[in-house]
Chains A and B, each alone.
Chain A
């Protein structure tokens, strides 16, 4: 056996896999042209068809269609050309969610009672749903990566909403076989602050209360845009950094990401706004030390909630101006009764609250003097 055989095999595999290169097509090519009312989200579209609503779940980056589902009103005939796992009778009455970001839309739509199961219940913070958990109306489903199939099947929910877009996750195939339809909720991949919130429309369509979902979204949108123009009126534009070290690498949101967009809309200057991409940038300590005195405010220093905690963790932090000036703000201090972070649950549905918090930090005085931050609080000494 020679190395050249390996090269041949690898090249062969490469061509084989390369053949399936995803076609880069836009939302429009998938029939989202006539889609109504989706403005910011890139991961889904809803189209009114003859007698049913067509929900398409798209890959937000390539626009490739991941899933299409016909939402058929009670009593109407099933349209042709859909397999059984692509048909959902609406309004649904029960749902199993897998991400805490799915809880606020349910509650806003007054459908919190539909939630019948959830993996890792402790992550949920909302008092309404916590009360239902305490009276055992929501079943624990174990870990998201290893959902308890037996309990899930016995719950017989009308829909299982997952947040992972790939089907390689163990066990999901079993759920499909049991006749429980899956919907991939890609809210976390949306890069526009309002895009994540817009996913409430998917919930609205599932519960057949689209008008209600639309109006809730419009209210949030209006509030967000008002706050954005309010922030613009400020004379100052403070420079902001974000992120924290993990071992000796600094992780911070890239310039096109969700977090960076918030800072921009709050009329702040994100120091790394010119880094292209939506994930996180990874810089080593030497690189990051160049920026110690270039920013006034530091938002989101990882999991830290106290200054002494940061200084103990790495002396590098103490070199930063915002650290010395005590201008570090975190969302890690606002936790629910069972330890879930409120920000992870609510921020995607309430971008207006995130924005007002940031405006409160960046432009003190613009908001009412007695403003109570929802997520971001200064670090404790």
Chain B
């Protein structure tokens, strides 16, 4: 691929990303003129205090979260699809979202049942994040310890699925015995959400996503080799065990931190890598990883803009929008291409 082609592959998405950010910032329940947005960010003038707060403390952190969430999940979905050589794999196949939902379920649904255990002692604005992160962490610990024992990546996939079923069952039991209000709170968590992060939250998420991306970039070479199959990869001098560990680690950091802050965001991680493969037509991970990040961010920003239903006080759950808008697009692209690139 020539230098010019590569430039073209990245120039458009970057312009589109910038456009999506402006669109996302200018549309919401409260009407704020677009020119005011530029005034607010690039000058010191503060015309309307409420608009200023909505822009700088609500819409801007939400837009940054959307970029991190969309990009991070797409990259981790790509990692898992490559590792398992399975087009159905996504960021949550290792049981990260099930672990997170178990943690949150214990916090929200279990507080009535386990008062003696002190679960309810966890409170405050960070409680959900801590519960979710520690849930994912415990499940991951189990999956990684399993990964270190078995050689076959497929077995790891099945173990991840089993953990998912197991935690799902525990969540069902907890839901069965919960009050309606607690259940509703849990359901709302499972819808996912981008708008509630404080700036501190955004910074922590940013750092985690950067760490995850650095680990992902470190395994670029072995990812390309893995595309040829594990035997070939090994003959090229790639340590399967080490690269598996690195890819699992990157996915855990990315998907784990994103789920902790934004809830289990569906679809993006599974679909965006497919979308990007069809668009760029090259399996090279040096292009796939940054492209997945860019396109994931763009799609997440656009979905969030739609979910806000501009100028109405209604909002829709982000999880529904990603699938409603995303699934037809993926189907359409696959039909047009007639053959699946994977």
Residues of chain A whose beta carbon lies under 8 Å from any beta carbon of chain B:
1, 6, 9, 13-14, 17-18, 20-22, 139-143, 145-146, 148-151, 153-154, 156, 164, 166-174, 177-178, 279, 282
**A142:B314 contact, CB within 8 angstroms:** yes
Query: Do B118 and A20 have beta carbons less than 8 Å apart?
Result: yes
A residues less than 8 Å from B30 (CB atoms): 150-151, 153-154
Max count, chain A CB within 10 A of own CB: residue among B107, B117, B125, B128: B125
- Chain A interface, DSSP helix/strand/loop, else mixed: mixed
Task: Report 8 cross-chain contacts, Cβ distance below 8 Å, ordered by A residue.
Answer: A1-B142, A6-B142, A20-B118, A141-B313, A151-B30, A154-B30, A169-B185, A174-B57
| Chain A residues positioned under 8 Å from B145 (CB to CB) | 1
Chain B contact-residue range equals: 35 or more
Whether B121 and A153, one on each chain, are in contact in the complex, defined by CB atoms closer than 8 angstroms, is no
Find out whether the CB atom of B134 lies under 8 angstroms from the CB atom of A13. yes
Taking the closest CB of chain A, its distance from the CB of B49, in whole angstroms, is: 9
Q: Check: B141 CB closer than 8 A to any chain A CB.
A: yes
Chain A CB within 8 A of B172 CB: no
Q: Which of A13, A20, A153, A177 contacts B198 (CB 8 A)?
A: A177
Give the complex CA separation of A13 and B314 in angstroms: 40
> B45 at interface (Cβ–Cβ under 8 A)?
no
Cα(A104)–Cα(B134), bound, Å: 43
- Closest Cβ of chain A to B162, distance in Å, is 16
CA distance A140 to B57 in the complex (A): 21
Name the A residues within 8 Å of B57 (CB-CB): 174, 177-178
Instruction: Establish whether residues B122 and A148, one from each chain, have CB atoms under 8 Å apart when the complex forms.
Output: no
A167 contacts B58, C-beta separation under 8 Å = no
Tell me whether B196 is interfacial, beta carbon within 8 Å. Answer: yes
Check if A174 sits within 8 Å of B198, measured CB to CB: yes
Q: In whole angstroms, what is the CA distance A67 to B283 when docked? A: 57
User: Contact: A166 with B196, CB < 8 Å?
Assistant: no
Chain A residues with CB below 8 A from B196, complex form:
149, 170-171, 173-174
Task: Enumerate chain B residues within 8 angstroms of A142, measured Cβ to Cβ.
Answer: 313-315
Q: Which residues of B contact A164 (CB under 8 A)?
A: 181, 185
| Measured CA separation A172–B314 after assembly (Å) | 17
A164 and B184 CA atoms in complex are apart in Å by 12
From A13, A141, A168, A282, give the contact of B125 (CB < 8 A): A168
Q: Is the CB of B117 within 8 A of A14?
A: yes
Q: Does B232 lie at the interface of the complex (its beta carbon under 8 Å from any beta carbon of A)?
A: no
If the complex has contacts A17-B117, A149-B58, A166-B123, are A173 and B198 also in contact, measured as CB distance less than 8 A? yes
- Greatest chain B CB density within 10 A among A22, A139, A150 is at A150
Minimum-distance CB pairs A-B, first 4: A1-B145, A20-B121, A145-B188, A170-B196
User: Is the pair B127, A171 in contact by a Cβ cutoff of 8 Å?
Assistant: no
Structural contact, B198 and A17, CB atoms closer than 8 A? no
The distance in angstroms between the C-alpha atoms of A167 and B57, with both chains bound, is 19
Chain A residues in 8 Å Cβ range of B193: 146, 170
When the two chains form their complex, are residues B121 and A22 in contact, meaning their CB atoms are under 8 A apart? yes
B124 at the interface (CB under 8 A from A): yes
| Cβ-closest chain B residue relative to A22 | B121
Tell which of A9, A145, A148, A168 has the most Cβ of chain B within 10 Å: A168
Question: For the complex, what is the distance from the CA of A145 to the CA of B196, rounded to whole Å?
Answer: 11
B148 within 8 A of A: yes
What is the CA–CA distance of A222 and B117 in the complex, to the nearest angstrom?
43
Query: In the complex, A1 Cα to B191 Cα: how many Å?
Result: 34
